[in-house]
Amino acid sequence: MSQLDWGGVDFREVCQNFYDGIHISDGEGRVLFVNRAYTRITGIQPEEVVGRRVQDIEEEGILYEGSVTGRVIQERQRVSSVATIFKKVNQAMLVTGTPVFDEDGKLRLVVCNTRDVSDLKRMERELQSVKEESQRAHNELAYLRGLQAEGQTLFYHSAAMKATMELVSTVAGTDVTVLITGESGTGKELIANEIYQRSTRKGRPFIKVNCAAIPEELLESELFGYESGAFTGAKQAGKTGMFELADTGVILLDEIGELSLPLQTKLLRVIQERELIRLGSTKSVKLDLRVIAATNKNLREEVRNGRFREDLYYHLNVVPIDLRPLRERKEDIPLLVQKFCEVFQKKYGKSVTVSQEGIGLLMEYHWPGNIRELENLMERLVVTSSSGSINRGAIFQALNPGGMPFPDLKAGGQTLKSQLQAFEREIVLHTLEQEGSLRKAAKVLGVDHSTLVKKIHGYQTES
């Protein structure tokens, strides 16, 4: 057989490098060539078949049965069959025969491709394993995304929070950029979770970045990613940044007021163009994501002081959501106390209630740490409670571990007299709560009953 027109390369050299077994016969079924893979798969040596007619070989019943060459010659079309190779302990092979015609339509060759069925089964098992692993990874990713978005349920009675949640409902289904502002502990991340959970991007990536928690020298690479060799210590394979990880989903940039001016410039490009350039690269990466930003800083003041870019501020502040501090929505406190108690009772296996007098004290407190401070306080009170009831005295002591009265000294007007009056008030109300009657409380305090009545009346008038 002469060379084919493949740049002078003999077809035998090409076929010898195939992974599949190749078996070539002429138009009458006489074997012309088998490659090394054919011998590896079947165990049949070339000298056992080359130069012989396929029909004769099969009739001997020594090497194989189920050849397709005869059928291809007869039907003049491609034929596939499962052949049994006796040298491989009756191991089945998948054989596909293809006819090759000359210019006059005469059958010139029959080329058979032979593959070990066990290879196919192995590949099928591997494919199934890959599918199962992919499904497990998908399930784990969905679970982790759920955890990422999971937060405390929002409980509220106040008009301020009702208005906030109405705004959340309005914007959640859009892709508008949202800027959430408020003091530390007011629940900015919970609002971001609500927006994500109600959005059309729910179930897609939800990446949270605390801009204040990542060192300045690492933040750029964490946000934008980098290519191999972008800087000393960079991973050889490079790294995907947070923005790319959030592609098709949502990214929360918490404490965005902590970004340096150079990073603000790069962030502006991402928000404007929805694209970024990795460190060490010149190629733009297109992004499809929604941006939510949060801060406890007054960004308008930061802009005036030259610490925050004005154009970035306006791009972020498309829909502002300002969370009021807990001291300005104290009507939410009783409900929050109830819900926190339920959570921590279940967590620690305890049954605890908070007295009405205790709730009253919580309503009077200034709450510089807002809801986070209230949550932490309730966990501590539930854990340390031994009586099953949390009274005003226990709360007062928890709020004042140093023994100082709790009124907010920074609020102004806190003279020595007013502080002493506040401390006296706590002693009186705590004693009354413990004793259960005015007469018993007056006896414990060493004052006349009438004096105590006047003081209690004065406290009620103040509140």
Q: What is the CATH number of the domain that holds 452?
A: 1.10.8.60
Is pLDDT of 263 > 50? yes
Check pLDDT > 50 for residue 5: no
Predicted pLDDT at 266: 92
CA–CA distance, 298 with 317 (Å, rounded to integer): 12
Report the alpha-carbon distance of residue 291 to residue 110 in Å, rounded. Answer: 62
Predicted pLDDT of residue 409: 45
User: Where residue 341 falls among pLDDT bands split at 50, 70, 90?
Assistant: very high
Pairing of strands 107-116, 91-101: antiparallel
The pLDDT of residue 403 is above 60: no
Boundaries of domain holding 316: 151-324
Nearest in space to 289 (alpha carbons), one of 249, 327, 257, 344: 249
Q: Per-residue pLDDT for 251 more than 90?
A: yes
109 and 222 belong to one structural domain: no
Dihedrals phi, psi of 112, to nearest 5 degrees? -110, 130
Q: What is the pTM of this model?
A: 0.62
Single residue among 120, 140, 167 that ends a domain in this structure: 120
pLDDT at 297 over 50: yes
Q: 299 and 435 share a domain?
A: no
Same domain as 73, residue 194: no
Residues 176 and 269 in one domain: yes
Strands 319-322 and 178-181: parallel
With respect to residue 143, please indicate whether it lies within any of the assigned structural domains.
Answer: no
Distance CA 377, CA 346 (A): 16
Instruction: Establish if 132 belongs to a structural domain.
Output: no
Please check whether residues 116 and 19 belong to one and the same domain.
yes
What pLDDT does residue 230 have? 62
**Of the candidates 321, 217, 224, which has an alpha carbon nearest to the alpha carbon of residue 280?**
224
Q: Residue 410 pLDDT > 50, yes or no?
A: no
Q: What is the pLDDT of residue 14?
A: 84
Query: For 27-106, where are the E strands, in sequence order?
Result: 31-34, 64-65, 79-85, 91-101
Residues 339, 241: one domain? no
Q: Indicate whether 241 pLDDT > 60.
A: yes
Residue 125 lies in a domain: no
| Beta strand segments in 135-273, E | 178-181, 206-210, 250-254
3 pLDDT tier (thresholds 50, 70, 90): very low
Same-domain status, 320 and 333: no
Instruction: Clarify whether residues 40 and 159 are in a common domain.
Output: no
Question: Residues of 258-294 as b/e, b for ≥16 C-beta within 10 angstroms?
Answer: bbeeebbebbbebbeeeebbbbebeeebebebbbbbb
- Does 244 map to a domain? yes
Assess contact for 71 and 79: CB atoms under 8 A: yes
- Portion of the chain with pLDDT greater than 70, in percent: 85
* Number of compact structural domains in the chain: 3
The answer on 114 and 22 residing in a single domain is yes
CATH at 272: 3.40.50.300
* pLDDT tier at 425, thresholds 50, 70, 90: confident
* Residue 310 vs residue 445, higher pLDDT: 310
Q: Is the predicted pLDDT of residue 73 greater than 60, yes or no?
A: yes
Query: Do residues 341 and 319 both lie within one domain?
Result: no
Within-domain flag for 127: no
SS (H, E, C) 51-65: CCEHHHHHHHCCCEE
pLDDT band at 381; cut points 50, 70, 90: very high
CATH number of domain containing 34: 3.30.450.20
Would 17 be classed as within a structural domain? Answer: yes
Most confident range (mean pLDDT) of 111-120, 164-173, 208-217, 453-462 is 164-173
**Mean pLDDT computed over 314-331:** 95
The whole-angstrom separation of Cα 361 and Cα 393 is 9
Instruction: Give the pLDDT of residue 148.
Output: 57
User: 341 and 304 share a domain?
Assistant: no
Do 63 and 190 fall within a single domain?
Answer: no
Q: Which of 120, 135, 168 is at the close of a domain?
A: 120
